[in-house]
Amino acid sequence: ATPTSIMVGTGKGAEYGILFKGGEHLEITHQINAVVLDKTGTITVGKPKVTDFETSDLRTLKYLYAAEKASEHPIAEAIVDFAKQEQVPLLEATQFEAVPGHGIIAMVENNTVHVGTRRLMNKSKINYGSYEEKLIQFEEDGKTAMLIAINHEVVGIVAVADTVKSTAKEAIAQLKALNIDVYMLTGDNEKTARAIAREVGIDNVIAEVLPEDKAKHVKQLQEKGKKVAMVGDGINDAPALATADVGIAIGTGTDVAIEAAHLTILGGELTLIPKAIYLSRKTMQNIR
């Protein structure tokens, strides 16, 4: 590999908004044959909005608001916006625990409030059978639905939806045209993930992955002989980005992700991923 052609390649990349941290990453990128994309904030815009809220208990929205007010998750932001819009009075949660990948547990007015996934309810031995059908309905629409329990009894459900980025479908088609296997990796539930994947043309979905396990799934693909690029924006994507042969951060994402990655694509424009791979292949061809 001539240093000059690598320099020309990284320079060209920078013009497009593809920022390689070093020439060696441009070199490795030509070997990539699998691209793993985080869902929220990578394939989607990352600004979910509440679409549905149902409850059998008048206190639910008040408690939901108080509980989520203490969380920093994008889902919590969506719920807080919704509660404000509904002019719900703000109570203070006296205790708060975020359970990564599951949801939250809080104390509000001496009541225990759980908000989150089936798994959160299972862990706390809360029965949600009567809500299963509702959950599935929302999930098949590509919405993320959370159960809400007060004092260990499910009393409601809240669903949020996020918008898919306008160029996501095109970017994925371009990756496939380059003969690359495309995967979605997400903490969200299987049905919601598949609905979004279908929308953008992704066939391989790895869902319900806990934040600490994202890197493990990248490693598993590598053990199958894949050269993996991981694309993500979040703090919990950082270990997976570092593990991947090429970690790609979304420029609009967190600093932690950008630091862990080998290259950053500006503006979160997903078509820059196939462009980066094409650029690397071209550069390496010229070298040989």
The residues carrying an active-site annotation are: 38
Question: Is the CB of 30 or the CB of 118 nearer to ligand ADP?
Answer: 118
Question: Is the CB of 10 or the CB of 236 nearer to ligand ADP?
Answer: 236
Supply the minimum distance, in Å, between the C-beta of residue 38 and ligand ADP. Answer: 7
Residues near ligand ADP (CB under 6 A) are 39-40, 68, 71, 73, 75-76, 101-104, 115-117, 144, 146, 186-188, 211
Residues near Mg ion (CB under 5 A) are 38, 40-41, 233-234
3 vs 221: CA distance, rounded Å: 31
Which residue's Cβ has the minimum distance to ligand ADP? 187
Question: Is the CB of 70 or the CB of 242 nearer to ligand ADP?
Answer: 70
Facing residues of 93 across strands?
A: 108
Question: Is the CB of 85 or the CB of 179 nearer to ligand ADP?
Answer: 85
Residues whose CB falls within 8 Å of the CB of residue 54, separated by 6 or more in sequence, listed in order: 134, 156, 157, 158
Of ligand ADP, Mg ion, none, which one does residue 233 interact with (CB within 5 to 8 Å by kind)?
A: Mg ion
Supply the minimum distance, in Å, between the C-beta of residue 214 and ligand ADP. Answer: 8
Give, in order, the Cα–Cα distances in Å from 173 to each of 28, 167, 189, 249: 22, 10, 24, 20
Facing residues of 249 across strands?
A: 232, 264
Of ligand ADP, Mg ion, none, which one does residue 243 interact with (CB within 5 to 8 Å by kind)?
A: none
182 vs 203: CA distance, rounded Å: 7
177 vs 272: CA distance, rounded Å: 14
